[in-house]
């Protein structure tokens, strides 16, 4: 998962980043709230871990901006060295999903992050994913459309699965690159566009299929559902 971590203390930031990397997540560290908010306007993440006290803007104000201005339901975990009941109530009421008093406890941090990710992205933990006529089988890396297996290359399958798992969500180019090619791997911009073009053709992602793959200028891509005479259920099982 792609996780943004905001903390003005370098040691604490490094500690959380190392823990998240050890859990298999891709971390993007920030020391200023305003820089994180700028990044959120052009990039996408799967989870935010925020410090309560920041020098430039309160952590609570970051949450309010994410929820009220950016209209994002991105899961948010607050961390604070000292737990205060009033802070917990204010943070949760502003839109945070969880609050942790001691981010130095790696096992608890892992458990809370995993719990948030399971609640926010439940379909990613299913052995079979069904989206209308599109059936994904992650253990065998097979995709069938109307019962017919589609011949997809490795990264085409990964990209298709990631798009359907994030149905209706705008995904930045950076997010897609990291999800399919991995963090630190140089993926040419045209390579992503080529894979997207192939998926449109191979999976017939046109309004008649019930799904449309849109390019959002300056940001990335979004796979949307389109109403048809035979609506797709988008359910996982």
Note whether 2-120 and 125-225 share their fold: no
Quick check: 36 and 62 in contact, CB under 8 A?
yes
Q: What local confidence, expressed as pLDDT, does residue 189 receive?
A: 61
The domain spans of the chain are 2-120, 125-225
Quick check: 49 and 79 in contact, CB under 8 A?
yes
Least confident residue range of 91-105, 116-130, 164-178: 116-130
On the question of pLDDT at 231 being above 60, the answer is: no
Q: Which distant-in-sequence residues (6+ apart) come within 8 Å of 4 by Cβ? A: 27, 28, 29, 30, 36, 39, 40, 45, 47, 48, 49
Please report the DSSP string for 20-88 in residue order.
Answer: HHHTTPEEEEES-HHHHHHHHTT---SEEEEES--SSS-HHHHHHIIIIIS-----EEEE-SS--HHHH
The string of pLDDT tens digits covering residues 51-109 is 887 888 888 999 999 999 988 889 999 987 666 778 888 888 999 999 988 666 888 88
3-state secondary structure at position 127: coil
Average pLDDT over residues 179-200: 78
The crossing angle, in degrees rounded to 10, of helices 173-181 and 154-165 is 130
3-state secondary structure at position 224: strand
CA dihedral sign, ordered 110, 111, 114, 115: negative
Q: What local confidence, expressed as pLDDT, does residue 184 receive?
A: 56
Q: What local confidence, expressed as pLDDT, does residue 199 receive?
A: 95
Higher pLDDT, 83 or 119: 119
Q: Can you tell me the distance from the alpha carbon of 142 to that of 151, in angstroms, rounded to the nearest whole number?
A: 9
What's the pLDDT band for 235 if we cut at 50, 70, 90? Answer: very low
Q: Can you tell me the distance from the alpha carbon of 27 to that of 10, in angstroms, rounded to the nearest whole number?
A: 14
Q: Can you tell me the distance from the alpha carbon of 157 to that of 166, in angstroms, rounded to the nearest whole number?
A: 14
Quick check: 44 and 50 in contact, CB under 8 A?
no
Highest-scoring range by mean pLDDT, 51-60, 183-192, 227-236: 51-60
pTM of the predicted model, to two decimals? 0.69
On the question of pLDDT at 196 being above 90, the answer is: yes
Distance of CA 33 to the CA centre of its chain: 19
Average pLDDT over residues 101-126: 79
Highest-scoring range by mean pLDDT, 10-19, 113-122, 148-157, 187-196: 148-157
Q: Can you tell me the distance from the alpha carbon of 106 to that of 18, in angstroms, rounded to the nearest whole number?
A: 10
Q: What local confidence, expressed as pLDDT, does residue 139 receive?
A: 75
List alpha helices for the chain, DSSP H.
10-22, 33-40, 59-64, 85-94, 106-120, 154-165, 173-181, 189-202
Q: What local confidence, expressed as pLDDT, does residue 104 receive?
A: 65
| Domain range 125-225, its CATH number among 1.10.10.10, 3.40.50.300, 3.40.309.10, 3.20.20.80 | 1.10.10.10
Q: Domain spanning 2-120: which CATH class is it, in words?
A: alpha beta
Quick check: 124 and 236 in contact, CB under 8 A?
no
């Amino acid at each position: 998962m792609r996780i943004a971590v905001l903390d003005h203390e370098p040691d604490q930031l490094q500690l959380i980043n190392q823990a998240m990397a050890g859990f298999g997540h891709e971390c993007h560290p920030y020391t200023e709230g305003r820089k994180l908010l700028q990044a959120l306007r052009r990039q996408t993440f799967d989870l935010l871990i925020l410090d309560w006290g920041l020098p430039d803007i309160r952590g609570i104000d970051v949450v309010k901006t994410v929820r009220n201005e950016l209209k994002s339901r991105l899961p948010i975990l607050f961390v604070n060295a000292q737990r205060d009941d009033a802070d917990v109530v204010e943070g949760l009421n502003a839109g945070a999903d969880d609050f942790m008093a001691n981010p130095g406890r790696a096992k608890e941090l892992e458990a809370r992050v995993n719990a948030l990710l399971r609640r926010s992205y439940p379909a990613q933990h299913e052995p079979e994913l069904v989206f209308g006529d599109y059936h994904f089988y992650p253990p065998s890396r097979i995709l069938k459309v109307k019962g017919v297996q589609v011949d997809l290359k490795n990264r085409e399958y990964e990209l298709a699965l990631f798009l359907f798992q994030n149905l209706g969500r705008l995904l930045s180019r950076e997010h897609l690159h990291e999800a399919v090619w991995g963090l630190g791997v140089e993926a040419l911009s045209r390579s992503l566009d080529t894979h997207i073009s192939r998926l449109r053709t191979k999976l017939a992602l046109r309004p008649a299929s019930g799904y449309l793959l849109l390019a959002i200028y300056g940001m990335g891509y979004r796979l949307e559902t389109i109403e048809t005479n035979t609506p797709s259920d988008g359910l996982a099982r």
